[in-house]
Structure 1
Amino acid sequence: MRKLLTSLVLGMFVGCAQPAGVLDDEQQTSPLEQILNDAQVENRVLDKELDLNDPVDLRQRGNEYFAQGDFDQAISYYTASLAAKEDAKSYFNRAVVYMSKNDFDKALADYDMAVKLEPKEASPYINRGLLLHRMGKTAQGINDLTEAMKHDATDATIPLNRGLLYLSINLFDRALADFNQAVEKDGKYADAYVNRGYCKHRMKQYKEAVGDFAEAIKLAPLNVLAFSNRGNSHTQLKEYDKAIADLDEAIRLESRDPNLYNNRGSSYGAKGNHVAAAADFGRAIELAPDFASPYRNRAFANHALGQADKARSDFAAALKLEPEVREGIPAEYLPK
């Protein structure tokens, strides 16, 4: 059975020099890509006429439809393949498509069957573990990833993913141990360094975090998160020029991410350059008008610049989006 591509959950820091290390599933590199790769290989076989009694042919046709983005047709062919012969691969593939449709209950049932049919194969445990996490059952997800490690002791993606699940429930020591394992298993695995650096940042080990992000950049010079997160760690170390340089590079690589402008604005603000800070917060607002943090941050910058009316307007916009976040806002800007 196929190897699973890494499911990365790389956190971004947002806010005025305060990390909001929330793990965001939307930042995952999806395991769905793995079937796409299989389909590209197997399409050569599909030049011949489809044998409706051959479960492999049917599964391969499902892969082809998956590659085209036709999920319903893919499911129908995986289902036909299973009717011809039960097979863990077809259950696995169909589960992946169900996940892409956010039909988690059906995906879980198919992963259960894949595990039942091939209990010593790591991939179904990995995918099921990540699915359980997405369903809010993180402890069960961790158990599945632990089981996967028993069946594949060499794959660095497994401890990395388990580390991410530990990180999501703030078990930093366990997360760090898993990221260490990932690095030990594959010393050229840039994402392992990025995630370990992120974990160290959350643990306030900022210098060590900078080192890990630097290693990731050596291995993957176009890794936006390595630059942006190293910049955030430099900000925590009050190394503002280095922070701004890293965030400049991150923005060069990904110019439409509002978090990057918000973070660079925070570095400018911490350095005392409130004009540049306000400009960056403004760009973040242009890119994400419903993002409260840059309104709040620009309000502080305008307050520092003595522009009370602009500050009041931005604080009002931030409070409209996040009425519960009032800490630090000067009393004169709070609604009466």
Structure 2
Amino acid sequence: MQKKLSLFYAKVILFSLTILFLSCKKTSDDYYNNGLKRAEKNDHKGAIVEYDEAVRINPNDVRFYIKRAMSKHELKDYSGAIRDFSEALKLKNYTDLYYSRAMIRQKVSDYKGALDDLSKASESEKDNPNFFSIRGTCKLKLKDYNGALNDISKSIELKKNQPSLYYLRGMVKLLIHEKESACEDFHKAKELKHPEAADSVNKFCD
């Protein structure tokens, strides 16, 4: 009888320990939420450690890759951020992810890759002035000057009184030999306090 009781109590203790272990074990969401808290405090290195664990436990949750990409971007790990956005796109074909990846590709001078991503995001970003300024800048770098001019002009239409846009459009107009119109943009950029506009006005216009 005593032997049976001892065996019973041993099973009860084992069961209790198992429940305790399972209740203490962190889930992927636990690590993800910890990562969010660390990122809010600008502890992006710590956040990435948490997101790494979330991905290890559940590699099929798109949220983990997106947030890890954002933290990597904050740390200027652009290649790592691009990889994570690419992994996220394998799981969910969200158009805003193409836009996010395009912004980073532009930073690493992958202008063709950025344009390819922007073409996939164009419908959802048609009212976003930054979309057109980024696309215009990429086209400028690839010497598609007319395409760049059209996009930068669209960005100005959506976001008036942005000095950097007028200055950029002025530079594009110079490249296509529209000096008079370029000077109008340089004067506007100067009026809006662009730091380099005054020099451009002196150099090209006055």
Question: Do both share a fold (TM > 0.5)?
Answer: yes
Aligned positions of 1:279-290 closer than 5 A: 279-290=150-161
CA change 1:155–1:173 in 2 (3 A) is: closer
Structure 2 contact 149–173 (Cα < 8 Å) conserved: yes
Q: Deviations over 1:51-89 (max 9, x none)?
A: xxxxxxxxxxxxxxxxxxxxxxxxxxxxxxxxxxxxxxx
TM-score where L is the length of structure 1: 0.46
SS in 2 for 1:306: coil
What corresponds to 2:181 in structure 1? 310
Paired letter, 2:151: D
Letter in 2 for 1:326: P
The 1:293–1:220 alpha-carbon spacing in structure 2 relative to 1, beyond 3 Å, is farther
Say if 2:186 and 2:200, in contact at 8 Å, map to a contact too. Answer: no
Q: Aligned partners of 2:81, 2:38: CA distance in 1, in Å?
A: 16
How far residue 279 of structure 1 moved from its aligned partner, in angstroms, is: 0.8
Q: Does 1:228 align with 2:103?
A: no
**Equivalent residue, structure 2, for 1:218:** 90
1:266 is matched with which residue: 134, 137, 149? 137
CA contact (8 A) 1:198 1:209 kept: yes
Q: Compare the two structures and name the one with the higher helix fraction.
A: 2
CA shift in 2, pair 1:319/1:201, >3 Å: farther
Q: 1:215 to 1:262 in 2, by over 3 A?
A: same
Which residue number corresponds to residue 193 of structure 1? Answer: 65
- Find the aligned partners of 1:319 and 1:172 in 2 and give their Cα distance: 38
Q: Does the Cα contact within 8 Å between 2:139 and 2:145 map onto a contact in 1?
A: yes
Aligned twin of 2:34: 159
Q: Which amino acid aligns with 1:269?
A: L
Match of 2:12 in 1: none
Deviations 1:72-125 (A, max 9, x none): xxxxxxxxxxxxxxxxxxxxxxxxxxxxxxxxxxxxxxxxxxxxxxxxxxxxxx
The aligned counterpart of 1:252 is 123
Secondary structure of 2:93's counterpart equals: coil
Relative to the length of structure 2, the TM-score reads 0.70
Aligned to 1:326: 195
SS of aligned partner of 1:277: helix
Q: Larger deviation: 201-210 or 282-291?
A: 201-210
Matching residue of 1:108: none
In the other structure, the counterpart of 1:88 is none
SS in 1 for 2:122: helix
CA contact (8 A) 1:159 1:181 kept: no
Q: Which amino acid aligns with 2:195?
A: R
Percent sequence identity over matched residues? 23
The amino acid of 1:331's aligned partner reads D
Deviation of the 1:160 alpha carbon: 4.0
> For residue 207 of structure 1, what is the amino acid of its counterpart?
S
Give secondary structure in 2 for the equivalent of 1:187.
coil
Larger Rg: 2
Write the letter of the residue equivalent to 1:332: S
CA separation of 1:199 and 1:318: change in aligned 2, threshold 3 A: farther
Amino acid at match of 2:144: N
Tell me how large the CA RMSD over aligned residues is: 3.0
Structure with bigger RCO (C-alpha 8 Å, 6+ apart):
1
- Distance across 2 between alignment mates of 1:202 and 1:298: 29
Gap change, CA 1:159 and 1:299, over 3 Å in 2:
farther
- When residues 332 and 290 of structure 1 are mapped into structure 2, their CA distance, relative to the original with a 3 A threshold, is closer
SS at match of 2:109: coil
Q: Does 1:174 align with 2:46?
A: yes
Superposed displacement of residue 331, structure 1: 1.5
